Amino acid sequence: MRDISDAADLMTTAREALLRDLLPALSGERRYAALMIANGMAIAAREHRLGTDASRNEAARLRNLLALFPRDAAESSGDPPTGDVPALRKVICAAIRAGRFDAHESAVGNALAHTAADWVAISNPKALRT
Amino acid sequence: MTKDDTLGDTVQTPATTALARWLARATRAQDVRVARYERLPGGAIQDNFLLDVDIRGGPWHGEHAFVLRTDAPTGVAASLSRAQEFAVLRVAHAAGVTAPKPLFLCRDTAVLGREFFIMKRLPGVAQGHRLTREPALVPDGAALARELGANLARIHAIRPPWSDAIKRAAHAFTDTPSAAGDGEIDAIAPPPTHPALATIVEYRSWLDKLDDAYPALEWGLRWCERHAPATFDIALIHRDYRTGNYLVDEGRLAGVLDWEFAGWGDPREDIGWLTARCWRFSGVEREAGGIAPIEPLLQGYESAGGVAVSRTDLDYWQVMAHLRWAIIALQQAQRHMGGGERSLELALTGRIVHELEYEVLQLITRSGA
């Protein structure tokens, strides 16, 4: 137990206040706007709790995929820095488009599905299916 | 606002004054009064306005309920100009497609600052979350799905080149003083050599314009490339035929809206879009747009002359549908992140990409790769 609210708790508490104290007074377009704000706050709170792990796991999965095939020196020189998810995504995307992962369907499918599920758990956990 | 002796309220702003003057010329009327002119909600890409007018004199004499459609300040890739959309809608309406009747096109940007067209206003409810949740609005989902299928088949019966019969029918709409001619219809993108592969090329070009890379979307496109159907058809397709874009009145299909993405393609693309999980709103278990199971939709479609659609086709084009919506959602998110149009709605649209990626991967796995 901590003494002071962290970002996730502040966001969650602010959202609860919005829904409890303001929403009942709103209708029509304003009610819709308040629900959108509440949704944005809920996503931000979940990302604060889960986002670091999601990024770290995504980076690890993408690096594992890159390790699936031997690479020549020219490619290795373009290796993204460890943990740089946007750079890793770019390298993986280029390899997918070039067909280099075609022989690794289940490995790629599984890795990407786990990553997608991690991010759905942040953006809209209701959409997850077991 | 000024009060007229004989009519109700008249709206007078610089826009409605210019509009009334233009409409009087278009309808060969002595005078046109604008009684209501209000922006309709929900147009991320196009601006739609409710327009009530009282036309005095000429062939249009009387009160009319119209919708005026024009471009929103920022557009999205691959949407038609208003003139092109007007022309396509005219052809579709003439071919018996249930859609709002297009009436007048204005290409003169001096009138409202942007091109616009006017169509007849239809009754009904379009909101997807309501249609998929309120049984009173859709008492017989199977019947509505059959209508949606049959109506889609009528769109897909329009094949390149335009048949003479359709051209004649389109020209019968001589109401409009500045009708879009065949030139504009021909100016829409020509039929693709291979619709699925052309679609993949297009989506990749859209992805390449974004700042970040998306492995799941790239993987989905590669899967679509490797599993591209060997045989296909080419027809006029709507490309946004889904729950939320058609009006339902008293449980019946009243009209299909939003023709800005129409063009030549494989008709199965429209079926995939209509049945994709991302467009089922509150009815995720009802494959036909959250309204009904798939069977009545396909029955209606095939009995009205639609092409054969297999389970493999459905899976394939549902993958493509999620890819398309994901990339469009990213484009909308970029409008926000790029700073040109800060908006919570656009920001949240970007966040649905994760669900769409998740669905693409689920579908690929289910289809046995």
pLDDT digits (tens, 9 = 90+) for A44-82: 999 999 999 999 999 999 999 999 876 654 455 555 555
CA-CA distance, B161 to B186, in Å (whole number)? 9
CB-CB neighbors (< 8 A) of A36 in chain B: 344-345, 348
pLDDT in tens, B78-91: 578 888 899 899 88
Indicate the CATH number for domain B2-120. 3.30.200.20
Amino acid at A67: A
Q: So what's the pLDDT on residue B171?
A: 57
What does the pLDDT read at residue B42? Answer: 67
Q: Which residue of A has its CA nearest to B350?
A: A123
For domain B128-161+190-366, give the CATH number. 3.90.1200.10
Q: Is B284 on the interface with A (CB under 8 A)?
A: no
ipTM associated with this complex: 0.93
The minimum CA-CA distance between A59 and chain B, rounded to whole Å, is 12
Contacts of B344 in chain A (CB under 8 A): 33, 36-37, 40
Q: Six-digit token pair at B305?
A: 């002359």
What digits encode the pLDDT tens for the residues B248-264? 999 999 999 999 999 99
By C-alpha distance, the chain B residue nearest A39 is B348
Question: How is chain A split into domains, by residue range?
Answer: 7-127
Q: Which residues of chain B have pLDDT under 50?
A: 1-7, 173-182, 184, 369
Nearest to B184 by CA among B119, B117, B134, B272: B117
Distance of alpha carbon B84 from alpha carbon B77, whole angstroms: 15
Which residues in chain B are classed under CATH 3.90.1200.10?
Answer: 128-161+190-366
| A122 contacts on B by Cβ (under 8 Å) | 354
A13-56 pLDDT, tens digit each: 999 999 999 999 999 989 999 999 999 999 999 999 999 999 99
- Residue B146, helix vs strand vs coil: helix
CATH 3.30.200.20 spans which residues of chain B? 2-120
Q: Which of A37, A105, A116 sits opposite B369 (nearest CB)?
A: A105
Contact check, Cβ <8 Å, A116/B357: yes
CB B103 within 8 A of CB B119: yes
B358–A109: do the CB atoms touch at under 8 Å?
no
